């Protein structure tokens, strides 16, 4: 697979400048203020309790792998990122009330909202799955999506329920303590076909903001 964006974030500390990657296009900050701390990417200041930074690999078929050395209660990979409130998040949302970690695909945030509007769950894990470091891999090809955490697939491969054409993808978080150590975005077109499944995982029970539990 061709590497389109790669960054290890090994550069001087800055609370306001994330800098450019080793390979690929420079990032665009859509939400919050992003910088570098101890050779790791982080969101120095949040806006509406979240941060979003994206790169443009030039294709919607991507294989994104990112290591969160200190993951927050909400976070993951963003795809189809048009704006601060128009993107698709693939990652996790911790429900602190129920003590579970929901993994799946979130719709964009509404303006001013601090939590995802709705979530198509792929899996419900114990909060012990929120480990440090956490390496999240999101493979998207021909509208199918596969999520892996620390090398193991989570849930089933599923059909992305929203059609998008914007090629920008990146990282989203709800915490200024989140640190990101490595990011790689590859072209997934050379991957074998992702397994096709009918329907959407947990389609009948979207995760609404009230279900997300308290944030950090």
Residue among 70, 102, 104, 71 at smallest CA distance from 89 = 104
Quote the tokens at residue 134. 């956490």
Quote the tokens at residue 74. 């909400």
What are the mean pLDDT values of the chain's consecutive 10-residue runs (216 residues total)? 94 96 95 97 91 95 96 90 86 87 76 57 89 94 91 89 86 94 90 54 35 36
pLDDT at 215: 34
Domains assigned to the chain: 3-209 (2.60.120.560)
Handedness of CA 186, 195, 108, 176 (dihedral sign): negative
pTM of the model: 0.85
pLDDT at 207: 34
């Amino acid at each position: 697979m061709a590497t389109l964006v790669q960054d290890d974030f090994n550069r001087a500390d800055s609370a306001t400048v994330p800098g450019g990657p080793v390979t690929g296009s420079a990032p665009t900050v859509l939400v919050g203020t992003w910088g570098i701390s101890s050779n790791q990417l982080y969101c120095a200041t949040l806006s509406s309790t979240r941060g979003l930074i994206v790169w443009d690999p030039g294709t919607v078929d991507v294989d994104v792998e990112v290591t969160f050395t200190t993951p927050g209660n909400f976070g993951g990979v963003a795809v189809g990122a048009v704006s601060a409130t128009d993107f698709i998040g693939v990652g996790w949302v911790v429900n602190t009330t129920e003590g579970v970690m929901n993994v799946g695909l979130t719709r964009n945030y509404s303006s001013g909202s601090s939590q995802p509007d709705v979530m198509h769950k792929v899996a419900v894990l114990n909060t012990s799955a929120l480990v440090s470091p956490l390496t999240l891999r999101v493979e998207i090809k021909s509208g199918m999506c596969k999520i892996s955490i620390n090398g193991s697939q989570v849930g089933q491969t599923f059909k992305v329920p929203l059609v998008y054409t914007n090629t920008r993808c990146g990282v989203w978080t709800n915490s200024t303590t989140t640190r990101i150590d490595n990011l790689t975005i590859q072209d997934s077109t050379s991957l074998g076909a992702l397994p096709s499944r009918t329907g959407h995982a947990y389609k009948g029970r979207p995760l609404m903001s009230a279900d997300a539990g308290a944030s950090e």
